[in-house]
């Protein structure tokens, strides 16, 4: 892989959910590699604060539940920068209140299921739909953030994991339909990643269960996932499309720790 292939000079990228965590790390890295970046987030003040700290970045308010907001994100980026080369669909419905109520199907609230799919799947689809004409023009690509939970069965987060599995299929569908137009579409599947939101949503004992199943000596950091996204977005990955890059520290590569989760939720952990 040449150094030049990993560079993003002259390219324009949109990062949704770009105000914090994986999105913010990705926005910083793409900028460091030469891209101009639109940071789109429902937390507009935080997006603007980050954009102000990055040369040439643009902050955009994004509400994935509103079709007009998603379409405006694409239009505003093109108006500001003249093109789109990368759409990184990273935003998802995953606040602490959501995570605490997203359990198994027997006790699933229909409203939570519907909202999860509206934000994660429908919102991502609308963004892809609006961006694809611009990506055809530039030979650009899409990188979707999914989750290793979309590849495994679990006793928690049934709505979230199901929505991410749907995005994996959307990734393959776009890769299949638009490869002949020069557009690539891939996904990155992080494991538990130490973002501020995750620290708030998952107690230390539960994080330890996952950490013990990780083949590395720690859980992943946002910067680890940003590197995977930046690789797939770059010309270094020009022959990769329709793929899911699992970036979970090896957690999905061996027999998982379901027993640890079962013990945690049955009250065996303090």
Identify whether 30 is part of a domain: yes
The beta-strand segments (E) located in the chain are 12-16, 36-41, 58-61, 86-89, 141-145, 184-190, 244-247
User: How many domains does the structure of the chain reveal?
Assistant: 1
- Domain limits for position 174: 3-265
Identify whether 212 is part of a domain: yes
Q: Is the pLDDT of residue 26 over 80?
A: yes
Q: Which residue has the tokens 């934000």?
A: 119
State phi, psi for 59 to the nearest 5 degrees.
Answer: -95, 135
Q: Which residue has the tokens 């049934």?
A: 158
Q: Is the pLDDT of residue 132 over 90?
A: yes
Q: Which residue has the tokens 């990506």?
A: 135
CATH number at residue 56: 3.40.50.720
Which of 125-139, 141-155, 246-260 is most confident?
A: 125-139
**Distance between CA atoms of 20 and 51, rounded to whole angstroms?**
11
Q: At 11, which helix (H) or strand (E)?
A: none
Query: Average pLDDT of the chain?
Result: 90
Identify whether 10 is part of a domain: yes
Identify whether 199 is part of a domain: yes
Q: What is the mean pLDDT of residues 164-183?
A: 98
Could you give the residue numbers annotated as active site? 160
| DSSP-assigned letters across all residues of 208-230 | HHHHHH-SSSS-B-HHHHHHHHH
Identify whether 270 is part of a domain: no
Entry pTM: 0.89
Q: 29: alpha, beta or left, given left = phi > 0 and alpha = psi -120 to 50? A: alpha
**Distance between CA atoms of 70 and 260, rounded to whole angstroms?**
39
**Distance between CA atoms of 115 and 66, rounded to whole angstroms?**
12
């Amino acid at each position: 892989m040449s150094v030049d292939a990993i560079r993003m000079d002259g390219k324009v990228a949109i990062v949704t959910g770009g105000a914090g965590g994986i999105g913010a790390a990705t926005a910083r890295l793409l900028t460091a590699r030469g891209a101009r970046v639109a940071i789109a987030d429902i937390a507009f003040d935080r997006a603007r604060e980050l954009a102000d700290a990055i040369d040439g970045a643009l902050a955009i308010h994004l509400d994935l539940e509103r079709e007009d907001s998603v379409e405006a994100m694409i239009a505003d980026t093109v108006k500001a920068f003249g093109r789109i080369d990368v759409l990184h669909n990273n935003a998802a419905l995953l606040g602490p209140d959501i995570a605490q109520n997203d359990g198994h199907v027997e006790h699933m609230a229909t409203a939570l299921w519907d909202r999860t799919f509206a934000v994660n799947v429908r919102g991502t689809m609308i963004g892809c739909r609006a961006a694809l004409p611009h990506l055809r023009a530039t030979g650009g690509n899409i990188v979707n953030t999914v989750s290793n939970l979309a590849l495994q069965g679990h006793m928690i987060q049934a709505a979230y994991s199901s929505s991410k599995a749907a995005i994996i299929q959307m990734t393959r569908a776009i890769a299949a339909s638009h490869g002949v137009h020069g557009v690539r579409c891939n996904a990155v599947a992080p494991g538990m990643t130490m973002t501020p939101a995750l620290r708030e949503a998952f107690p230390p004992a539960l994080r330890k269960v996952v950490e013990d199943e990780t083949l590395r000596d720690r859980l992943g950091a946002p910067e680890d996932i940003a590197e995977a996204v930046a690789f797939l977005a770059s010309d270094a990955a020009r022959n990769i499309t329709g793929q899911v890059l699992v970036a979970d520290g090896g957690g999905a590569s061996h027999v998982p720790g379901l027993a640890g989760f079962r013990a945690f939720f049955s009250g065996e952990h303090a």
